[in-house]
Amino acid sequence: MKSFGILQHSLQHEMDYVSKLSEAGIDLGFDVYRFSPNQHSSHHIQGLKYEPLQKEWVETNFKVPEFIYDRCFHSGSTTKKETAFIRWLKTESNATFLGHGLPGKWEIYKQLKKSPLLNRHIPHSIKLHPHTCAKVLSDLLTEHGKIILKPIIGSQGNGIMLLTQNQDQIGVQINHNGRIFHHTYDKTSSLLKMIRSILKQRDYIAQQWLSLLDQNNQPFDRRVVMKKTSYTTWEEIGRATRVGNPESFVSNLHSGGTIQTDQKLLMSESVFHHAESIISRLSHCVATILEETFSPLFELGLDFGIDRSGKVWLLEANSKPGHKAIRSHQDYYTIPFYYCHSLISERKGVNCYGCNSSIKKG
């Protein structure tokens, strides 16, 4: 039996997904384990093993798995102990990670903006610095009236802010754990004091506001999930529409968004189908560029917006997409294991398959 480990910050996270994943893996000849990075570097680690007969996870000690599927969502709060353990797994153990995580939004933005195809589909963004943010925010608000501030490291929409310029004040909406908090600041010291205090804790980018609303004036986006089905092949696994609450400015499912199945509620059919074809082309372009720059990668979640004119915007690219929106693919739960088989057949990866490839320990 080959061994497959799922690395998670919390072993209570994604229970339904990892259980179905494990059943598929066992059928394909894998022992499946789950473990957290909150432990000391050792070739014997603590975690859970899936027992198919009981259909439950059992506590156990086990050797470092041959393949590791990293499902840790980093928000900037990873401890030194966790960081050291993950670094040890990648550099000192014989494990092969299916993919590395992507860097922050700013590094991704700089790489994707270089593409002539993608450039016009990516919102203009600027990295904020405490000493220059006053001018940056003033210029962007004067030009656009509304701007979005996004944490460079983060997921699930947490920490995103919408700034709206009024006559004498700036309205600020902050998304935190699915709730929208409203604040009002004057245009001078109080807003800048708040922004600079936040920048001391985490890095942000400022981005032009895009009116990405459906026909009911609700925010929406199209989530596309791309996965490697072999060492060299990216495949679109599925896509879904996420619609946010009317009072929200984000559409993330963790922020109260829902899956919309009736596309007629979004926009005219002709505009929608034209946008869909553009999204298909852009998705494969994004996967190719990010793979070339930040390999190895295994899966991507790409978020696209469609404005009222029908123009497509790439809003986000992340390497650990959630699984609530996309589960329609017939081989959804077997893909990670077929990818492992591909690495073996291509002689890529762990030492026991005898190759010093570029994805070694990755």
Alpha-carbon span 181 to 175, nearest angstrom: 7
Q: What are phi and psi of 356, to 5 degrees?
A: -100, 65
Q: Are 267 and 214 in contact (CB under 8 A)?
A: yes
Q: How confident is the model at residue 256 (pLDDT cuts 50, 70, 90)?
A: low
Q: How confident is the model at residue 290 (pLDDT cuts 50, 70, 90)?
A: very high
Burial 107-136 (b: 16+ CB within 10 A, else e): ebbebbeebeebeebbbebbbbeeeebeeb
Q: How confident is the model at residue 362 (pLDDT cuts 50, 70, 90)?
A: very low
Q: Check pLDDT > 70 for residue 76.
A: no
3-state secondary structure 220-279: EEEEEEEEEEECCEEEEEEEEEEECCCCCCCCCHHHCCEEECCHHHCCCHHHHHHHHHHH
Which CA distances in Å does 13 have to 26, 35, 157, 301?
Answer: 20, 11, 17, 18
Mean pLDDT of all residues in the chain? 87
- The predicted structure's pLDDT at residue 155: 72
Neighbours of 237 (CB within 10 A): 21
Q: How confident is the model at residue 252 (pLDDT cuts 50, 70, 90)?
A: low
**Percent of the chain surpassing pLDDT 70:** 90
Q: What is the mean pLDDT of residues 227-246?
A: 87
Tokens read off for 159:
């920490």
- The predicted structure's pLDDT at residue 231: 83
Q: How confident is the model at residue 284 (pLDDT cuts 50, 70, 90)?
A: very high
Calculate ∠ Cα 279-281-287, nearest 5°. 95
Q: Check pLDDT > 50 for residue 359.
A: no
Structure confidence by residue, pLDDT tens digits, 12-45: 888 889 999 999 999 999 999 999 999 988 888 9
ω before 37 within 30° of 0 (cis)? no
Q: Check pLDDT > 80 for residue 310.
A: yes
- Structure letter (DSSP) for residue 67: E
- The predicted structure's pLDDT at residue 351: 38
Tokens read off for 56:
């439950």
- The predicted structure's pLDDT at residue 318: 92
Q: Are 143 and 218 in contact (CB under 8 A)?
A: no
Tokens read off for 97:
């990670």
Lowest mean pLDDT among 63-72, 147-156, 254-263: 254-263
Q: What is the mean pLDDT of residues 119-137?
A: 94
